[in-house]
Each structure stands twice: as structure tokens, then as C-alpha cells.
């Protein structure tokens, strides 16, 4: 029941922002690539890596995060693979600096020492993006809600994870 409510609220925010007549410098109908760095203190399924995005209009961007980490230490190797599709609703702000709400479904798969795990979660983040030009955005966000499906964990609060990143739209 709670999951449906939060998902419905997120969808409503995205739809409302899609119909806004935003005059910011945000990209419009452009593809983008970027780098995302995540500092995790909770159960967030997001991780640092590359981002691929498409600006449907200046108020709505969709995309995915993709990360891969391979590590070997003291004879034990581990790896983590992350896939995190998202939708980002940008609101009216100043011409260059706009706040946003982002919904992300994260899938993290990892193995270490022969043990494998897969975690899935729906994350809601709030933040702001600075558009230095129509093609370059620098953003930061904080997690507001994390609904873990596997394992089943709910985290509500500001800052369970923090993201910073840069996007270049072509």
C-alpha cells in the first residue's frame, strides 16, 4: 500500500513537471552521457558509474545509471554490477539553476568470495542542477526515500545517500 502511494506521488510530480513551460537552459530532446558519484550510508542500490540520459523536454529527463567495480585484495576478489533506470522531473528555477525530483529503480548484483547477492530498490531523490550551458549540467542530490524490495528495507530521511555528477548533452 505504501509503495503504491509513493509511486503514485512520484508519477504525479513527473507529469506535472512535464507540462510546465520551463524557460531554463535545460536541454531539450537531446541525448546525454555523464559520470555519477554516490556516497552511500544506507541500503541504496545506486552506485558510482556512468549515466546515459535523454531530455524528453526541458522539464523531464529519463535515463539509466550503470556501474561496474572489480576488486581483489588478500586473495579475495569481489565485483559489483549496478543498473539503475531513472526519471527526473526538473522544476522552474533560475535560468541556470533548477531543482529536481528523481525516481530511480536500482538493481545491484555483487559477488564476493563465492557468495552472490542481488538487491533491488526504488529510490526517490531531491536535488538541483546547474546548467553551465545548454549542453553541460552539474548536479547534486540527496536521497529522501529508499524502498528496498530485496531485501525488504525502508529508509525515509534526508541524506541516506548523496550523489554528485556531471552530464553532457549532445
Instruction: Please give the angle made by the CA atoms of 84, 167 and 162, to the nearest 5 degrees.
Output: 55
Is 21 a residue whose pLDDT tops 60? Answer: no
Is 16 a residue whose pLDDT tops 50? Answer: no
Could you tell me the pTM of the whole model?
Answer: 0.75
Q: How far apart are CA 159 and CA 40, in angstroms?
A: 9
Is 155 a residue whose pLDDT tops 80? Answer: no
- Per residue in 29-80, pLDDT (tens digit) is 999 999 998 876 544 445 688 999 999 998 999 999 998 888 777 877 888 8
Query: Model confidence at 159, in pLDDT bands (50, 70, 90)?
Result: low
- pLDDT of res. 113: 75
The structural domains of the chain, ordered by start, are 2-169 (2.40.160.20)
The secondary structure of residue 156, as a DSSP letter, is E
Is 128 a residue whose pLDDT tops 90? Answer: yes
DSSP string, 80-146: EEEEEEEEEEE---SSSEEEEEEEEEEEEEEEETTEEEEEEEEEEEEEEEEEEETTEEEEEEEEEEE
Q: Give the residue with greater pLDDT, 28 vs 18.
A: 28
- pLDDT of res. 17: 47
Long-range contacts (CB closer than 8 Å, 24 or more residues apart) made by 70-77: 76/112, 76/113, 77/112, 77/113
29 C-beta neighbours (distance < 10 Å), count: 10
Residue 8 host element (H or E): helix 2-18
Instruction: Answer yes or no: are the C-beta atoms of 53 and 69 closer than 8 Å.
Output: no
- pLDDT of res. 53: 95
Residue 162 host element (H or E): strand 161-169
Amino acid at each position: 500500500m505504501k509503495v503504491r502511494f509513493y509511486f503514485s506521488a512520484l508519477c504525479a510530480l513527473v507529469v506535472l513537471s512535464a507540462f510546465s513551460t520551463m524557460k531554463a537552459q535545460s536541454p531539450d530532446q537531446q541525448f546525454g552521457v555523464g559520470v555519477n558519484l554516490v556516497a552511500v550510508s544506507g541500503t541504496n542500490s545506486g552506485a558510482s558509474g556512468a549515466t546515459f540520459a535523454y531530455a524528453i523536454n526541458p522539464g523531464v529527463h529519463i535515463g539509466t545509471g550503470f556501474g561496474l567495480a572489480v576488486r581483489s585484495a588478500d586473495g579475495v576478489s569481489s565485483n559489483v554490477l549496478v543498473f539503475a533506470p531513472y526519471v527526473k522531473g526538473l522544476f522552474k528555477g533560475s535560468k541556470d539553476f533548477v531543482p529536481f525530483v528523481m525516481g530511480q529503480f536500482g538493481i545491484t548484483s555483487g559477488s564476493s568470495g563465492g557468495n552472490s547477492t542481488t538487491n533491488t530498490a526504488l529510490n526517490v531523490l531531491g536535488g538541483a542542477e546547474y546548467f553551465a550551458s545548454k549542453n553541460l549540467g552539474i548536479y547534486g542530490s540527496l536521497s529522501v526515500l529508499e524502498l528496498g524490495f530485496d531485501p525488504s528495507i525502508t529508509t525515509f530521511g534526508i541524506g541516506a545517500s548523496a550523489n554528485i555528477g556531471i552530464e553532457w548533452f549532445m
